[in-house]
Structure 1
């Protein structure tokens, strides 16, 4: 019962994920942070099996940091998303595959453009203007399709994201509680209160 959304706008990527940790009908936590900053201009939200998600997110974070230390430069969003996709595809062919769905968003400081990537547990990657994972995607994707504007300001993007969150809270049978929202743009990664 996890849900995450992301959308791009004029110079930013906005990412939101629910903060609920549940198994079957039991809610174990309501303050789980499922949005992981991977670099100064890179974010990732994850959903899936509880053990796999945390382990894979930390593995990705540490390896991207190791790359930065070794090469004295950070990976651009497309390169980071491609490496993450390849890592998931390789784990799929091992004895212990990760069951993780990801949304990777970043701001490319050399091109001055935001990028958003949808990656599923099978290692499929797509470059998208907006995306969603989880049961909330059944409600949010139609709203994002109607209201998403690639040249929208950050305030307009936040309003679109609020519509998605309100719709999921109203129509999904399980209350997901609060959402953690972060934005990445030319100034870096920061958290937004909704």
Structure 2
């Protein structure tokens, strides 16, 4: 018999009977067929803030192009603003692999809805429908203790109410809508600037006229510059998405002018004269 431990309890083939000390290959059937179920314990490659606001003609969202591996600015050309259909944009912060999963799920859902529209005239999904779908998806995953590690903004044009739509969803299933929204550090750094500008034109109650497209883009540029100054996980390379009645437009990557002359006077920064 073959005394090698790998062959204990295993029969020998006719060929192996000529070599009594050969190792009989262990059958795959003796190995576990499935691996233990594992859930993501924390995000690895992440994106930072997404900001958005309503303006006169629709919704604008902005997000930088960085995906950080921990504190390393690893991937510098990631688009975190994803068009969904013709009048909706999804902006995502948090884990980029979960964002890829979301894009795959939502694109598949939109293909199914497009097929239904061709067969029975089913209307396309509105931004609020995608927002509701994400709210249920995030809450279901959170309830199974397997959350999607993202915070998302959904912006679009609501043809039923003939007005812009902007909503927030995060990994806990928290959902709300507002005329100005932000994720991550943008909640602390950009949201006050967005609210100040919005209330200056529309009033505190939001019943006044909304800002123009030029004003909205200017305040987003200012917010992205502030985030670059203050958020260590941000870079000065970002995109702006506009959603109007005419559709979705996502800009090429751009940067905001910055000034760092003040850093020369800070002790411990660069060369210092004693």
Distance 1:170 1:25 in 2: 16
Summarize deviations over 1:49-92 as a string: whole Å, max 9, x none: 22212112221222133123224421122122111111111111
1:170 to 229, 232, 242: 229
| Deviation (angstroms), 1:136 | 3.2
Q: How many residues align?
A: 194
TM, length-normalised to structure 1: 0.92
> Counterpart of 2:142?
92
RMSD over aligned Cα atoms = 1.7
Cα offset for 1:158? Answer: 0.5
Residue aligned with 1:134, SS = coil
Is 1:157 the counterpart of 2:157? The answer is no
CA distance in 2, matches of 1:166, 1:48: 20
1:135 alignment counterpart: 185
1:41-56 matches, cutoff 5 A: 41-56=87-102
Residue matched to 1:189: 248
Q: Which runs of 5+ in 2 are unaligned?
A: 1-46, 203-209, 255-274
Report 1 or 2 for greater relative contact order, CA contacts < 8 Å, sequence distance ≥ 6.
Answer: 1
Structure 1 alignment gaps of length 5 or more: none
Q: Alignment partner for residue 24 of structure 1, among 67, 70, 80? A: 70
> What's the secondary structure of 2:229's corresponding residue?
helix
Choose which of 47, 63, 74 in structure 1 pairs with 2:109: 63
User: Contact conserved, 2:80 with 2:93, CA < 8 A, in 1?
Assistant: yes
